[in-house]
Amino acid sequence: MIKTSVKADDVLKHKTDCLVLFNPEKNPAGLLKQIDGLLNGALTAAFKAKRFEGKLNQTFEQSVRGLMGADSLIVVGLGKSKDITEESIRQAAGTAAKSVEKSRHKKMAFFLDGKDAGKPGKAKKSQTAHPVAGAIMEGAQLGLYHFDQYKSVDQDNPPSRIKEIILLVPGKPQVTAYQKGVDQAGKLCEAVIATRDLMHHPSNIATPAFLAKAAQSLARKYKITCKVLEKKDMQKLKMGSLLGVAQGSHEPPKFIVLEYKGGKAKDPPVVIVGNGVTFDTGGISLKPGAGMDEMKFDMSGGAVTLGTLQAAASLKLKVNVVGIVPATENMPGGSAIKPGDILTAADGQTIEVLNTDAEGRLILADALIYAQRYKPKVLIDLATLTGAVIMALGHVACAVVGTDSKLIQQLIQSGDATGERMWELPLYEEFEKAVKSDIADLKNIASKGVGAGTITGAAFLKPFTGDYPWAHLDIAGTAWTSNEKPYVPKGGSGYGVRLLIDYLKNLSS
């Protein structure tokens, strides 16, 4: 994490490499008008020439050495004043931070007094101490994320990195509120960064055992309960569906359970189940070679589950949360399951395996059955389950399917608030019938001609959720992306941690 602090200082005299100011789609006013005067109207000229119009994520950069305490100034657009939200501030802060780093500055300072930039208008009431401070820090910290663990460093030309971020406030009375917002955002960002790191490790490192050790380390640091079930434990619990997927791999499976008890002892927990396939070849139903390297991210649901438990514990949320991660590889070894095989899940339901590349739902089945022992308040699962969700929603939003409309709407609202958007898909009876097998209770892919791959994947999971309120999040399109965004890098996004924490905050409040 980059060192961050809040200071009350004169923005015109504050010493820093680069000062960042925000501006909506209107001519410079207030402080910006004053600074524009120091710059002989350079910002006004940029507006008139339409080089900078205050549109969201537009930037205007100018050297101000000798005119101000800062060496350089960046003004970043926020869009129309009426449309400013915490999400637009996050994006603008991420855009600015990347621009500052690209210019090889080491220190940067943000200033936002609310008069020039307006106030977040459309976001729902925030649970953070200071929503603007939190949004700025989230955007900057997450926008400056790098995963360099496996790169050699060029000693003569090392990569330029921001070393310090300061948030300037107009006066000392505001420092405490802003600092609380920054601190809360920092803990959340740490969890997202830990999630992204897990997703970026190659699968020869990030094995099921690696995930289990990461969970145990997390539990020690944040004083939460962790247990890891081994293969023999899964056999005792008759987790035939999970063990069926695991039997083609030399890497032993792990079943990770984390318990955070922040609520009252008798309060039922929110149970989050995350798919932990650490590498997915497709098994005997082998995937094409092109792009298979990205299948290391098939454990994204598991990584997000660990990250969410970390964030909940570090923020000391007043709610009970259980995280469950079934972890295994899906390999085409000589002992691997074959199309046509029948597996028996822990509750006795039988599954005809028609495609071994539909393995995520197989390991989730046993995990969802296990989750029911906690008598959960709600049951949420996350998985990079289907390519079909990318056809439907691209890389812009995840799909949510479930049995409880209130839960789904609460999740959608948290998605809107955090910029981690989702879209509900229907779970009609026809889709549930499409995963009924002729020779077993269920089959792991739907009948030919049904389509709706994302929904039928959820329809398969439904029989393993009991009568508990349940929502399934298919994050295949949002967990990993090839296009860099203002505060989301190429590769693993960590999508889901901020969304789930917002949901849990709302429950605890």
Catalytic status, residue 223: no
Contacts of 433 (CB under 8 A, 6+ apart): none
Marked catalytic residue, from 361, 377, 462, 498:
361
Provide CATH 3.40.630.10 ranges for the chain.
213-508
Provide CATH 3.40.220.10 ranges for the chain.
3-190
Catalytic status, residue 361: yes
Q: Rounded to whole angstroms, what are the CA distances from 190 to 248, 414, 487?
A: 35, 19, 14
Q: Which of 496, 427, 420 minimizes the C-alpha distance to 465?
A: 427
Please list the pLDDT of the chain residue by residue as tens digits (509 residues).
Answer: 999 999 999 999 999 999 999 999 988 889 999 999 999 999 999 999 999 999 999 999 999 999 999 999 999 999 999 999 999 999 999 999 999 999 999 999 999 775 544 444 443 444 445 889 999 999 999 999 999 999 998 888 889 999 999 999 988 888 988 999 999 999 999 999 999 999 999 999 999 999 999 999 999 999 999 999 999 999 999 999 999 999 999 999 999 999 999 999 999 999 999 999 999 999 999 999 999 999 999 999 999 999 999 999 999 999 999 999 999 999 999 999 999 999 999 999 999 999 999 999 999 999 999 999 999 999 999 999 999 999 999 999 999 999 999 999 999 999 999 999 999 999 999 999 999 999 999 999 999 999 999 999 999 999 999 999 999 999 999 999 888 999 998 999 999 999 999 999 999 88
The single-letter DSSP state of residue 158 is P
Marked catalytic residue, from 7, 227, 287, 436:
287
Contacts for 234-239: CB closer than 8 Å, 24+ residues apart:
234/366, 237/346, 237/366, 237/370, 238/344, 238/345, 238/346, 238/348, 239/345, 239/346, 239/366, 239/370
> In this predicted structure, what is the pLDDT of residue 123?
39
CA distance 197 to 201: 6
Q: Which CATH superfamily is domain 3-190 in?
A: Leucine Aminopeptidase, subunit E, domain 1 (3.40.220.10)
Q: Of the CATH numbers 3.40.109.10, 3.40.630.10, 3.40.50.2300, 3.30.565.10, which one belongs to the domain with range 213-508? A: 3.40.630.10
What phi-psi label fits residue 88: left (phi over 0), alpha (psi between -120 and 50 degrees) or beta? alpha
Query: What DSSP string describes 207-232?
Result: -HHHHHHHHHHHHHHHT-EEEEE-HH
> In this predicted structure, what is the pLDDT of residue 173?
85
Residue 446 · residue 453 · CB < 8 Å: yes
Q: For 431-479, what is each residue's pLDDT tens digit?
A: 999 999 999 999 999 999 999 999 999 999 999 999 999 999 999 999 9
Verdict on whether the full-model pTM lies above 0.85 = yes
